[in-house]
Structure 1
Amino acid sequence: MTAVKAGDVEGLIRRGPDPRVPVILIYGPDTGLVADRAARLIAKIVSDPDDPFALIRLDGDVLAGDPGRLVDEAGTLGMFGGSRTIWVRSGSRNYAPAVDAALKAPIEGARIVVEAGDLAKSAPLRTLCEGSPKALALPCYPDDERTLADLIDRTLQEDGLRIDRDARDLLAGSLGSDRRASLSEIGKLALYARDQGTVSVEDVEAIVSDVGASILNELIDAAFAGRAAEAERTYRRFRHEGMDPSAMLGAGLRHALQLLSLRLDNPRGSASQIVANWRGLHFRRKATAETQLARWSAEGLRPAVAWLQDAVLACRRAEPDLAHAQAQAIFLRIAVEASRRR
């Protein structure tokens, strides 16, 4: 097996992967983290950034229609004779046969980095890479406390800054699980604190917004607190703004799982006690979080999690209009159920 543990991925990227392994799959539900790690890995292994043939970008949909192209690109020599890196980004079609062909081919002097989304354990692309000695599969899951602290230190160090421990703790508590959004907030902080050497608590309080309280929380909190009219109104606005229904359902599912985990850990705890120990919860969301935990038991949350899981799968297979109808119906169902739990 060549599946890398999630906790070992950062270290592998810093060291650089084994040059004898030609295919590297980077996947996971946090698309910002996947993109960030893919870009850092590419920067680590591209032999000559001045050679236009050293880095080739390919779309997964193109490879789905022409599976042999990946092997052809990997076999082409760079203009100056250096190694060649192919960066594959997923589309909507299955391009696992192209990766399968590359794993079976005698590739020398080339690396293939595949940037994918959230892959189930049985997904063809994931099973291929996890089962081949010629590939690495790097999972990217939402940042936890340790990885957030490492991200903060590393990103600020690139701008010549260090951060006080209290400031780091405050910043980490304000960041959510989306790597792209977290990097944006850290970048704003670095710009604000430029040339001052050390980032303080005051700097963090002055600049960093609550990324964890993302725009989607408006919809999620309304639904799980039982405010059906508000949930319906907010969903319609998000749909009009072009929000992806799968993204909304995925955020709702993560929130439901978070509530379920908190309830399982504290089956008899009061809502206020649980919220007081909820790390990373922004103070503006505490009141609605207490309402939600007061209304939802673990037994009630399990079916809600199942509704969201089923809806996520259904939306991925449905046309956009039908996907929106299904997603909106689920959020309204949750809101109605919550309103009955007074």
Structure 2
Amino acid sequence: MKASAAQIRAALAKPGPDIRLYLLHGPDEAGAADLARTLGKAMGPDAERVDLDGAQLKGDPSRLADEAAAMSLFATARHVRVTTAGEESLEAFTTLLNADRAGNPVVAIAPSVKTSAKIVKLALESPRAMAFACYAPTAADAERLAATMAGDQGLRLAGGVARRLVETTGGDRAVMAREIDKLALYLDASAERPQDLEHAALDAVGADLGDAEMTRAIDAVIEGRVADLGTELALLQQAGTSPIPWLRQLVRRLVTLADMRGEIDRGEAVDVVMKRHRVFFREEAQTAKSLRRWSPTMLSTAIARVRAAERAIMASGNAGSVVAEAAVVALSQAIARRN
């Protein structure tokens, strides 16, 4: 069945025996991961979580149903999380939904599938599944989300604080959640002890994720300025910033370059393409230079590597910002060699 944002969050916060599969599909992988964590919290701190991915389900389609029906080794609650699910998971999802019994809920994150995908259609048509499309929120939606998340932590937001939270986290739900957790701890706030969140608290402990700082790091990657990139990454790290927002900005820049490069390769003039994409006139020369440096293959590879770095950072037990830094330094070095 199809779920709204409120329905999917409520269902994950209080999972019932009727729903076996929660399918979170669409490009907002951070939003999907945040929703998946809602299920983990609902299962309790002692719950056992089984992690699978699309490749494992393709090789062993019956495993998902087996894991969903298995008892926990530690006699605690149990749930299954599937990451990078795609059409290769269709047989596994079908087996799960058709099984005689399940017991342990399954949440699956499918960032690359479209609404027309077979696994989405399966979930929409099954009374034992819920499907929710995850898209990056608009600015207004993100502000409402920030206010809701803060309210859950006992924080009453002063005017303009929600907007500032969105701006400083790049609208990334996972980063926003960490910032709100930090602010709630700083103010000793909870649902039982509400506190007012003023701008002063953000000034004291909030992340400094200025657009200018992130833009300088992204420019250094795109232009192959390895030494400058090292300096900018050090500044971001000193500020305690999460790499998620600037990784996403970098992906957007690379995708735009890929789109522009494709139009040029189809015979359109460079100046026409840049005008269509509203390139600022002071950035036209550097953009044209980047379009000459980056081949379609390199752009495709770079996008895949940056997205892989983001997924690695969001995984449990990750190595932190070093994963992002290693990925972008390698890209910058590759472009520097091409020059």
Match of 1:74 in 2: 68
2:135 is paired with a residue whose SS is coil
1:12 match: 8
Paired residues, number: 286
Q: Corresponding residue for 2:114?
A: 121
**Aligned pair partner of 1:146 in 140, 143, 161:** 140
- Choose from 23, 33, 36 the match for 1:35: 33
The CA deviation at 1:186 is 1.9
Whether 2:17 is the aligned partner of 1:24: answer: no
* TM-score normalized by the length of structure 1: 0.60
What secondary structure sits across from 2:112 in the alignment?
coil
Amino acid at match of 2:200: E
Task: Quote the RMSD (CA, aligned, Å).
Answer: 5.1
Provide closer, same or farther for how the CA distance between residues 204 and 41 of structure 1 changes in structure 2, counting only shifts above 3 A. Answer: same
Alignment of 1:1-342 (within 5 A): 2=1, 8-14=4-10, 20-44=18-42, 46=43, 49=44, 56-60=49-53, 63-76=57-70, 86-90=79-83, 95-107=89-101, 109-114=103-108, 116=109, 118-121=111-114, 127-132=118-123, 133-134=125-126, 135-194=129-188, 197-211=195-209, 213=211, 217-224=215-222, 226=223, 228-230=224-226, 234=230, 251-256=249-254, 271=280, 292=283, 295-296=286-287, 308-309=299-300, 311-312=302-303, 327-328=331-332, 331-332=335-336
Q: What is the rounded CA distance, in whole Å, between the counterparts of 1:212 and 1:103 in structure 2?
A: 46
Distance, in Å, in 1 between the alignment partners of 2:212 and 2:68 is 41
Query: Contact between 1:253 and 1:308, CA under 8 Å: does it hold in 2?
Result: no
CA distance in 1, matches of 2:168, 2:328: 30
Query: What letter is aligned with 1:120?
Result: V
Distance 2:305 2:278 in 1: 35
Q: Percent identity?
A: 21
Write the letter of the residue equivalent to 1:181: V
Whether the aligned pair in 2 keeps the contact of 1:161 and 1:198 (CA below 8 Å) is yes
Residue 162 of structure 1, CA deviation: 0.2
Q: Report if the CA contact (8 A) 1:223-1:231 is conserved.
A: no
1:18-70 deviation line (CA, Å, top 9, x unaligned): 864421122455544322211213445x4xx59x7x75524236545433222
Q: For 2:160, what is the secondary structure of its paired residue? A: helix
Measure the CA separation in 2 of the matches of 1:249 and 1:159. 27
Letter matched to residue 10 of structure 2: R
Identify unmatched segments of 5+ residues in structure 1: 242-246, 272-289, 318-322, 337-342
Q: Is there any run of 5+ residues in structure 2 with no aligned partner, and where? A: 238-244, 261-271, 309-326
Give the counterpart letter for 1:207 in structure 2. V
- The verdict on how the C-alpha distance between 1:197 and 1:249 changes in structure 2, with shifts beyond 3 A counting, is closer
| TM-score scaled by length of structure 2 | 0.60
Instruction: Give the CA deviation at 1:91.
Output: 6.9
Offset at residue 198 of structure 1 (A): 1.0
8 Å Cα contact 1:143-1:179 kept in structure 2:
no
**Does the 8 Å contact 2:169/2:209 carry over to 1?**
yes
* Aligned-partner Cα distance in 2 for 1:65–1:214: 46
CA positional deviation for 1:184:
1.6
Deviates more, 1:161-170 or 1:150-159: 150-159
* CA positional deviation for 1:104: 3.5
- Superposed displacement of residue 222, structure 1: 1.9
Cα distance change on mapping 1:161 and 1:293 into 2, 3 Å: farther
Counterpart-to-counterpart distance in 2, 1:87 and 1:152:
28
